[in-house]
Amino acid sequence: MMGMLVDAAVFNPVPAKTLISSWDVSLASQSREAAQLCVRPNGRRQTIGRSLRRFISRNERHAFIWRASSGEEDKDNDFDSNQEDSTPSPGGDSDNTSNKDLQGSSIFPKGSILPGVKPPRQQEKIPKSILDIIRDQVFSFDTFFPTGQEPYEGGVLFTGNLRGDSAKSYTKLANRLKDKFGDNYYLFLLLNPMDNKPVAAVIPSEALRSESAPVPEWLAAASFGLLTVLTLLLRNFPALQLNLLANNPAIILSGVPGALVTAAILLTHEAGHYYAARRLEAEISLPYFIPSWQLGSFGGITRIKNVLRKRQDLIQFSAAGPLCGALLGLTLVLVGLILPPGENQGISINASAFHDSLLVGGLAKAILADALKEGSTVTINPLVLSAWSGLLVNAINSIPAGDLDGGRIAQGLWGRKVWSRLNGVSIGLLGLAGIFNDVALYWVVLIIFLQRGPILPQMDEVTNPDDKHIAAGLGVLILCLLVCFPFPLPFS
């Protein structure tokens, strides 16, 4: 609701009611935001203008909201968030249009203050006294100037104008909030996808505490890990599938070398996440390895338990795993292609198998040269297939979809709005590929049920990442394409 600001020293409520008897006058609550003056004669709203929006002094501000009356005077200064007209007070918003944008946006789902964050079961509204301190002593003209607010379960959203460098402004605001209230409240700077304008959110720390799972974390992780060990053995020694119940240790041991190679790549991937989390002081869960009959494993699911500070922190954490896994996987593939297989240890495959990966096929053609011809059979070191399997799992987790590493990287690079679009495109393409490929079908089902998101918010989603983190994120996505895309040229 737009209006014109008026100083209390200029307009007195008693003369106003005398001159315009059919208009109701109510005093808006004091706040740092300059209140608005609107006239609504006979029940119809008319906007006067807003040329004097910042006319009122910084220390003491009063404004009068002129409304049409039905003969009754409104003496209540508390505004309900569900009222049609709201003012910048602890329960309302000065801009009704922006309220609808916030409520209908994909970033702020109904019933949750932030994506992926569950509001506390016993919700307590932030007291008006605390909101006044936030508006008057935390926000400022040189950082974030609030023009309205929207109550949500567990916290409050503030619309307004972000001033200066977003990273520096957020640091100032976060430090002020911590100085006033310690760790009881957290500040978020987000982007409203409706208009890409910054929105500040103040959230009680209780809303960000993760709930304890019904099953102990270590027990669930160990159960998934044991199943993954079994599928890795089955994948790396097919004869074991035909003698699964046979009491023959030699059959089981024959699949151990290949399983160890694939597992080493997966563990290196998770070690990269762990190292990045330590540097970022992020709290993460134990990895839940997903067993796969086709590849041995689909990698691990590692949850971020606390909130990261910036989008580039999300890139740093998410890219560390795929980069470490790809480094080891590529190294082992190269070693396997260079070293000839031992006596009676080589695996004979058709050359067309190398068409399945642009990167591996290109390396194989460069190293094997004339030995790799279309339609021919080539004998290779078993290390190549085991390392290739781990490299593929590493790349699949880099697909920009859901809460995968690739999805987190996409959100860190381009923001939540672009991530939402890439998520839909990636899942759609995987669904189409699933018609012809069981691995793609299995993977898209896992994403939908386990990893579809949303991604936990970062405290500052407005500031763009620096060039170093952009390069790392793009490198992971490019590696994903090189591993997953087929080699288009014939081996001649």
In percent, the amount of the chain with pLDDT more than 70 equals: 70
Q: How confident is the model at residue 256 (pLDDT cuts 50, 70, 90)?
A: confident
Return the CATH class of domain 96-208: alpha beta
* DSSP per residue, 146-165: EEEEEEETTEEEEEEEE-S-
Q: What DSSP letter does each residue of 2-66 carry, written as one string? A: ------TTT--HHHHHHH-TTEEEEEPPP-SS-----B-GGG--B----TTTT-S-SS----EEE
pLDDT score for 468: 96
The pLDDT assigned to 143 comes to: 93
Domain with CATH 3.30.980 in the chain: 96-208
CA atoms within 13 A on the CB side of 19: 8
Q: Provide mean pLDDT across the span 446-451.
A: 82
Tokens of 477: 């996505």
Higher pLDDT, residue 284 or 252: 284
Alpha carbon distance 177, 136 (integer Å): 11
Closest CA to 146 of 5, 4, 7, 32: 32
Q: What is the mean pLDDT of residues 219-240?
A: 83
Full-model pTM: 0.74
DSSP state of 188: E
Predicted confidence at residue 409, as pLDDT, reads 96
Structure tokens at 346: 């080589």
What's the angle, vertex CA 191, arms to CA 188 and CA 196, rounded to 5? Answer: 160
Per-residue confidence (pLDDT) for residue 197, from 0 to 100: 86
Q: Output the six-digit token pair for 268.
A: 């290196």
pLDDT at 266 over 70: yes
Residue 466 has pLDDT above 90, yes or no: yes
pLDDT, tens only, 372-426:
888 889 999 989 999 999 999 999 999 999 899 999 999 999 998 889 899 889 9
Please give the average per-residue pLDDT across 213-232, as a whole number.
87
Report how far residue 317's alpha carbon sits from residue 308's, in angstroms, rounded to the nearest whole number. 10
Helices (H), 105-243: 128-133, 166-181, 217-236, 239-242
Is the model's pLDDT at 18 over the cut of 50? no
Checking if the pLDDT of 19 tops 60, the result is: no
Q: In 3D, which of 98, 102, 6, 8 has the Cα closest to residue 49?
A: 6
| Percent of the chain residues topping a pLDDT of 90 | 39
DSSP class of residue 369 equals: G
Name residue 487's amino acid: F
Q: Residue 35: is its pLDDT beyond 70? A: no
Angle between helices 358-368 and 311-338 (to 10 degrees): 30
